[in-house]
């Protein structure tokens, strides 16, 4: 499986990240264990989760994904074989949110307990916290790195200006610095990443690991024109793409997939892997065929004509 360096200073990781948001949501514990066994055996061992997964499900409190991963680590003994990323900062209820030093110290310990591990490979600020000075947030992350609880830190959902400010603060104060950015980026959502965040990613040598890489499944081609998508768990997320522009992109994916003996999902991910600044897109799977797509996408190389066609058809109107 193709490996890529996560930013200038990070480790080598697979070119696709396995999304853990489905664990405890659309994939139960048994199914999650089966997927994790196979994924790691195939070399797909960069796994991304968050403390808040899957708090949006009725009856859930958050922490379900981390808990399943922790049980799998305990059962399989494969913790050392995984590059584990998780995130903190989004509201967990009862005042548990933000990026204050007090809450970061509380959140990391809670995640470590659920994950049944004593360290996180990549600990990420899930979203910017305008109420906490960046110096305080970065100082708290630096403390975690020095304590050995965290190996690297990353940012998610930061605007370009705030990301650059955070990186300069780390540089000026000798603090641990973000090595990665987790942005919302895919063929139907190219902005604001390309115009706002990518220049910062390239200037400071970060690795981008985009989420919603398949646009909640829209880019797999399964949501066809006129079909009823209301029964899908992600129906509300994909409705905004079901228009002429969105389907033109899907048509191009289908055409290129046929030419490469691949699937639209593999092609959409391969396009992302080929984009400037991107290290590895994040995508989740709920069945074996979807996991096959992620494994194959890591090694799929698109020709320049195919890359250009997708870039042109998905280019937002100015």
Active-site residue list: 53
Dump the DSSP string for 213-224.
Answer: TTGGGGGGT-S-
301 to 4, 24, 270, 293: CA distances (angstroms): 14, 33, 7, 14
Query: Residues 116, 87: contact at Cβ < 8 Å?
Result: no
Distance CA 237, CA 32 (A): 23
Query: Residues 67, 52: contact at Cβ < 8 Å?
Result: no
The count of C-alpha atoms lying within 13 angstroms of the C-alpha of 92, restricted to the half-sphere facing its C-beta, is 21
Q: How many Cβ atoms from other residues are within 10 Å of residue 232's Cβ?
A: 14
Distance CA 139, CA 125 (A): 13
Distance CA 128, CA 96 (A): 15
Q: How many Cβ atoms from other residues are within 10 Å of residue 24's Cβ?
A: 22
Among residues 240, 247, 227, 302, the alpha carbon closest in space to that of 270 is found at 302
Among residues 192, 189, 125, the alpha carbon closest in space to that of 156 is found at 125
Angle (CA) 136 127 119, round 5° = 70
Tokens of 148: 């050995």
Neighbouring-strand partners of residue 123: 86, 153
Instruction: Spell out where 68-211 has E strands.
Output: 83-88, 120-125, 150-156, 178-182, 207-208
């Amino acid at each position: 499986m193709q490996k890529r360096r996560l930013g200038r200073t990070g480790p080598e990781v697979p070119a696709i990240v396995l999304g853990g948001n489905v664990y405890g949501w659309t994939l139960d514990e048994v199914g999650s264990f089966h997927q994790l066994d196979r994924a790691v055996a195939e070399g797909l061992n960069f796994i991304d989760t968050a403390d808040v997964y899957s708090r949006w499900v009725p009856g859930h409190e958050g922490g379900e994904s981390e808990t399943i991963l922790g049980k799998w680590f305990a059962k399989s003994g494969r913790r050392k074989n995984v590059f584990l990323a998780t995130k903190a900062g989004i509201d967990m209820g009862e005042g548990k949110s933000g990026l204050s030093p007090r809450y970061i110290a509380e959140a990391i310990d809670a995640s470590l307990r659920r994950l049944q591990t004593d360290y996180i490979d990549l600990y990420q600020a899930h979203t910017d916290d305008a109420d906490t000075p960046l110096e305080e947030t970065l100082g708290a992350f630096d403390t975690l790195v020095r304590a050995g609880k965290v190996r690297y830190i990353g940012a998610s959902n930061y605007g370009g200006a705030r990301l650059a400010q955070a990186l300069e603060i780390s540089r000026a104060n000798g603090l641990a610095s973000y090595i990665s950015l987790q942005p919302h980026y895919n063929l139907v959502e190219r902005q604001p990443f390309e115009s706002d965040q990518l220049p910062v990613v390239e200037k400071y040598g970060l690795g981008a690991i985009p989420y919603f890489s398949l646009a909640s499944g829209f880019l797999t081609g399964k949501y066809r024109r006129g079909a009823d998508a209301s029964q899908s768990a992600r129906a509300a997320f994909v409705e905004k793409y079901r228009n002429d522009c969105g389907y033109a992109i899907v048509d191009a994916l289908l055409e290129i997939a046929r030419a490469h003996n691949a699937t639209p999902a593999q092609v959409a991910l391969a396009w992302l892997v080929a984009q400037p600044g991107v290290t590895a897109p994040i995508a989740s799977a709920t069945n074996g065929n979807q996991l096959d797509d992620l494994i194959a996408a890591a090694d799929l190389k698109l020709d320049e004509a195919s890359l250009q066609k997708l870039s042109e058809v998905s280019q937002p109107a100015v």
